[in-house]
Amino acid sequence: MSTSTAVSGRRKSGSSKQDKPDNSPLPGQAISARPMAGDAIYERILGSIMEHRLTPGTKLVEEKLAGIFGVNRTRVREVLARLSHEGLITTIPNRGAFVASPTPEEARNIFAARRLLEPALLRHLCEQTRPEHIAQLRAHVAEEARARESNDRRAIIRLSGEFHIRIADMVENTVMSKMMRELASLTCLIIVLYDSPTVPACTHDEHGDIINAIAAGRTEDAVAAMLEHLDHIEEVLDMSAPPGEDEDLEAMLGMV
């Protein structure tokens, strides 16, 4: 697939009194040396989802997140509300916020949405493609190949998802780009829930076929290659597989 990452946050260098945590840390819990801006917290959580550090069903405790990021609970609550709006977080009354666990039906709906959106993105890109677009996509696929050679599964997953986001960003339509980012992130959750451990859900070879068609100006071949690629991802998923569990929230966010 499932942006370095298209998900990169910006940190604010300054801090103020209201930026400090309004809750004491949990026992043994490290605190960020500098309060993080809301966008940076959002990108950290989103990136952890795309790298499969945060797995479906993981509980996101406001107090613990506030301590990890060195902010107050209000800022954490705002970030969780944003992620919930995008479908990546599920909030259960009296229980809290959890990383979403898409059902098989929801997973199929997400792939159906991608089959509508990504051909449209490709057609737009093929109309306005520039040599630097092809160079950037080929460099990205080369990075994917290096991650596979080193068996860096988290990097493989992140880069596979970012390939699709890069195409969306090249079209320079902010609405379509936002939709693609959300769908790619949801697909990452689906893959961690239903991926067969012995079969890669997204291969750089298929990405290469899409790039070759774009470079040659074969729009409909590029669209066909993308649809075949999405079909392949969905076909190798085992919708009966249970979600994994991991309790170390701080480690999953890459803060230790």
Nearest 5 degrees, angle CA 48-CA 179-CA 213? 95
Q: What is the mean pLDDT of the chain?
A: 81
The pTM for the full model equals 0.74
Angle of helix 219-235 relative to helix 104-128, nearest 10 degrees, comes to 160
174-183, long-range: CB within 8 Å, 24+ apart, which pairs?
Answer: 176/117, 176/120, 176/121, 176/124, 179/117, 180/117, 180/118, 180/121, 181/6, 181/7, 182/86, 182/87, 182/88, 183/110, 183/113, 183/114, 183/117
Residue 28 clears pLDDT 80, i.e. is over it:
no
Residue 188 is predicted with a pLDDT of: 86
Question: Any bridge partners for residue 59, and if so which?
Answer: 98
Residue 55 is predicted with a pLDDT of: 87
Residue 238 is predicted with a pLDDT of: 83
Q: Find all residues with CB under 8 Å of 150, minimum gap 6, and list them.
A: none
Residue 196 is predicted with a pLDDT of: 61
Residue 192 is predicted with a pLDDT of: 82
As a whole number, mean pLDDT of residues 75-99 equals 93
Residue 32 is predicted with a pLDDT of: 40
Interval 203-240: pLDDT, tens: 658 999 999 999 999 999 999 999 999 999 999 888 77
Whether 191 and 241 have beta carbons less than 8 Å apart is answered as: no
By the 10 Å C-beta count (0-12 exposed, 13-18 middle, 19+ buried), 28 is classed as exposed
As a whole number, mean pLDDT of residues 190-209 equals 73
Highest mean pLDDT among 71-80, 129-138, 187-196: 129-138
H or E stretch including 171? Answer: helix 153-171
What would the CATH number be for the domain defined by 104-235? 1.20.120.530
Q: How confident is the model at residue 2 (pLDDT cuts 50, 70, 90)?
A: very low
Q: Is 48 helix (H, G, I), strand (E, B) or coil?
A: helix
Topology, domain 17-101+242-252? Arc Repressor Mutant, subunit A (1.10.10)
Give span(s): CATH 1.10.10.10, the chain.
17-101+242-252
As a whole number, mean pLDDT of residues 49-61 equals 89
Interval 133-191: pLDDT, tens: 999 999 999 999 999 899 888 888 888 889 999 999 999 999 999 999 999 989 988 98
End-to-end alpha-carbon separation of the chain, Å? 27
The tokens describing 85, both together, are 């709006």
Cα–Cα distances (Å) from 66 to 18, 23, 31, 49, 105, in that order, read: 13, 8, 8, 18, 34
Give span(s): CATH 1.20.120.530, the chain.
104-235
Q: Other C-beta atoms within 10 Å of 14: how many?
A: 8
Place of tokens 């840390």: 25
Residue 58 clears pLDDT 60, i.e. is over it:
yes
Residue 117 clears pLDDT 80, i.e. is over it:
yes
Angle of helix 153-171 relative to helix 131-149, nearest 10 degrees, comes to 170
